[in-house]
Amino acid sequence: MTELNISCTGEVFCTGCSSRDCASRDCVSRDCASRDCASRDCASRDCASRDCASRDDTCDRTNTNIKSKAVTIGNTVLPHGLLLAPMAGVTDAAFRAVCRAFGAEYTVTEMISAKALWYHDKKTTVLARIAEEEMPCAVQIFGSEPSVMAYAAKVLSDPDSTPCTRTPAAIDINMGCPMPKIVNNGDGSALMRNPVLAGQIIEAVLGATELPVTVKIRTGWSEQEKNGVEIAKIAAELGVSAITIHGRTRTQMYAPPVDFDSIASVCAAVKTVNCRIPVIGNGSIDSAAAARDMRQKTGCDGVMIARGAYGNPWIFREIAADMDGIPFCPPTPVERLGTALSHLERLLVQKGDYTGIQEGRKHLAWYTKGLPGSASLRAQIMQAQTPDEMRAVLIPFLNACEQTQAAKEQPLTQAFSEQDGDTQA
């Protein structure tokens, strides 16, 4: 029977669990120096007219050797260039912390309304809170008024007044969200239809903060209005510290295959302006193979994982292992369920019982997808109303998985024991 310990941070782990790696829970890849990136690198900001001498062979994005290719955003160095995408309703503090523990090298908050900050909306300030274990973490803002966006950037950057609770790694400007309620107000990917306004917003935000400023865009509004290159060049010339490009247009949303050619064109265009600005590829990265394809087919510097991390925070370790040329051991059902329970407890601590259960259901369903008997388990997850009811659903399933795993491991352990006996004899 599994005995559960719950830490003060809401982490759940099994007593005596041999697979628990304390180092992995403390974000071993977190570099203290990378968390103090309070200043934007001037070299990356003022290089619109830098001559070709600065674009030497070290800036070659066509190199398909992706091993150990670090990405630098401001003063933050990402050893493998692995970023967690901002996703509304998903990448809250709990999810960001879990992904950091399993190899995400950089996280971004859910998108935050600049106008809501302008009006001092209390719910919005909660979205901006960042815990130490999530760092380096950027804050993403959206809006379509340069002065309001500048105000939001200034508030979020000010260590004396920021609702983030600590200085974020960067301010990210959302120019890629395709959802109707966002674009109908002229925000998100709607800004790609107005390059002049997009430039004014970027310039205003850059002028309001000393933090690195990054931008997330799409390939364009539609096939007929595919201007990702134009927007990326504007951003690069103004001096942003990184550009993330989602490989679809706004009208395509998330359905068709990623357009590698358009991402490659953006990479090449940014290189002509300033090769020190990293371009991050995004879209349908759900495995190490998909991440490798993104890099090799586009020449992008890093990758941003979104839906591929649903119930699978280990994807970051998988990609890093592939880049390093070392084996990756997928999580066992016991590890998946243990992490699901830990994630749930984080949500309960941070959001309370009711909201924690409501928002935790989708995460628990993602974690259990593909496990034997998980269809009936997910039905029970959706019906559980309280933390105790949810634990009563998950813990017996975890115990059953532990027994199954132990039964599979026993013959192998016995074989090794017999072999040792023969050797000693």
Angle in degrees, CA 122, 124, 128, rounded to 5:
115
> How many independent structural domains does the chain possess?
2
| 12 shares its domain with 43 | no
| 171 shares its domain with 307 | yes
| 111 shares its domain with 225 | yes
Residues 228-282: pLDDT tens digits?
999 999 999 999 999 999 999 999 898 889 999 999 999 999 999 999 999 999 9
| 215 shares its domain with 111 | yes
Ramachandran sector of residue 103 (left: φ over 0; alpha: ψ -120 to 50; beta: rest): left
Q: So what's the pLDDT on residue 403? A: 87
Q: Is the residue at 308 inside a domain?
A: yes
Q: How far is CA 185 from the centre of its chain?
A: 26
Tokens representing 187 are 């925000």
| 243 shares its domain with 374 | no
Are the C-beta atoms of residues 244 and 280 closer than 8 Å to each other? yes
Domain containing residue 384: CATH number: 1.10.1200.80
Helices (H), 228-373: 228-238, 260-273, 288-298, 315-324, 333-351, 353-368
Q: How far apart are CA 139 and CA 157, in angstroms?
A: 10
- Comparing 138-142, 158-162, 383-387, 402-406, the range with the smallest average pLDDT is 158-162
Q: How far is CA 67 from the centre of its chain?
A: 20
Q: Is the residue at 288 inside a domain?
A: yes
Residue 26 has pLDDT above 70, yes or no: no
Residue whose C-alpha is closest to residue 2's, from 10, 11, 12? 12
| 170 shares its domain with 239 | yes
Domain containing residue 210: CATH number: 3.20.20.70
Q: Is the residue at 24 inside a domain?
A: no
Residue 93 has pLDDT above 70, yes or no: yes
Q: If pLDDT is split at 50, 70 and 90, which confidence band does 165 have? A: confident
Q: So what's the pLDDT on residue 323? A: 95
Buried b (16+ CB within 10 A) or exposed e, 386-412: ebeebbebbbebbeebbeeeeeeeeee
Q: Is the residue at 25 inside a domain?
A: no
Q: If pLDDT is split at 50, 70 and 90, which confidence band does 67 have? A: low
Q: Considering 293, 324, 355, which residue would you say is the last residue of a domain?
A: 324
| 61 shares its domain with 12 | no
Q: Considering 324, 342, 367, which residue would you say is the last residue of a domain?
A: 324
**Which distant-in-sequence residues (6+ apart) come within 8 Å of 6 by Cβ?**
12, 345
> What is the 8-class DSSP label of residue 215?
E
Catalytic residue flag (residue 37): no
Q: So what's the pLDDT on residue 69? A: 81
Query: Catalytic pick from 164, 177, 275, 300?
Result: 177
Q: Is the residue at 355 inside a domain?
A: yes
| 8 shares its domain with 75 | no
Q: What is the mean pLDDT of residues 349-368?
A: 96
Q: Considering 324, 343, 373, which residue would you say is the last residue of a domain?
A: 324
Residues 282-314: pLDDT tens digits?
999 999 999 999 999 999 999 999 999 999 999
Residue 102 has pLDDT above 90, yes or no: yes
| 190 shares its domain with 118 | yes
Domain that holds residue 65: 32-324
Q: Is the residue at 424 inside a domain?
A: no
| 157 shares its domain with 93 | yes
Q: So what's the pLDDT on residue 273? A: 96
Q: What is the mean pLDDT of the chain?
A: 84
| 291 shares its domain with 160 | yes
The CA distances from residue 393 to 13, 163, 396, 413, in Å, are 17, 36, 6, 31
Q: So what's the pLDDT on residue 52? A: 36
Q: If pLDDT is split at 50, 70 and 90, which confidence band does 415 have? A: very low
- Comparing 61-65, 127-131, 394-398, the range with the smallest average pLDDT is 61-65
- Comparing 128-132, 234-238, 314-318, 322-326, the range with the smallest average pLDDT is 128-132
Helix, strand or coil, per DSSP, at residue 337: helix
| 261 shares its domain with 227 | yes
